Amino acid sequence: MTIKEIVIVYLVVINVATFLTYGIDKWKAKKSLWRIREASLLGLAVLGGSIGAWLGMKVWHHKTMHEKFKYGIPLILVVQIVIVLLTSCKTKQAVELSAPIHWNMTMS
C-alpha cells in the first residue's frame, strides 16, 4: 500500500469509529448510563475524525448545543481541510515575504 492509500484507509476508519462513538454516547445519554468523556469525543475529531464527529452531531442530534462542539468541530474540520490542501499541493513554492515591492510613481 502507498502512503496515500494508508491515509485514506485511516481517515475512513477513524471517521466511521467517531460517528459510531457519537451514536453510542447519545444512546447512553438516553439510557442514563455512564457517558463517554467530552475530551474523548473531541480527541477523536482532532485525530482525523472531524467529518464523523460532525455527521454524528447532525444524525444523532448529539452535542449540538454545547459551544465547544457547535463551534469546535467545524473549526477542527476547516483546519484539517486546510492542512490537506497545503500538504497536497502539486507545486510547492516558497513565498518570499521579504521581496521588495517596486512602486511605479511616474505620472504620464
Does any domain span residue 108?
no
Cβ within 8 Å of residue 99, ≥6 positions away? none
Does any domain span residue 79?
yes
Residue 91 pLDDT: 57
pTM > 0.85: yes or no? no
Provide mean pLDDT across the span 49-58. 96
Does any domain span residue 32?
yes
For Cα atoms 51, 54, 60, give the angle at the middle one, nearest 5 degrees.
125
Mean pLDDT taken over the chain: 88
**Domain of 10, in residue numbers:** 3-85
Does any domain span residue 96?
no
Does any domain span residue 67?
yes
DSSP codes of every residue in 9-20: HHHHHHHHHHHH
Residue 64 pLDDT: 87
The pLDDT tens digits for 61-91 are 989 889 999 999 999 999 999 998 888 876 5
Total domains in the fold of the chain: 1
Does any domain span residue 65?
yes
Residue 87 pLDDT: 84
CA–CA gap between residue 73 and residue 50 (Å, rounded): 6
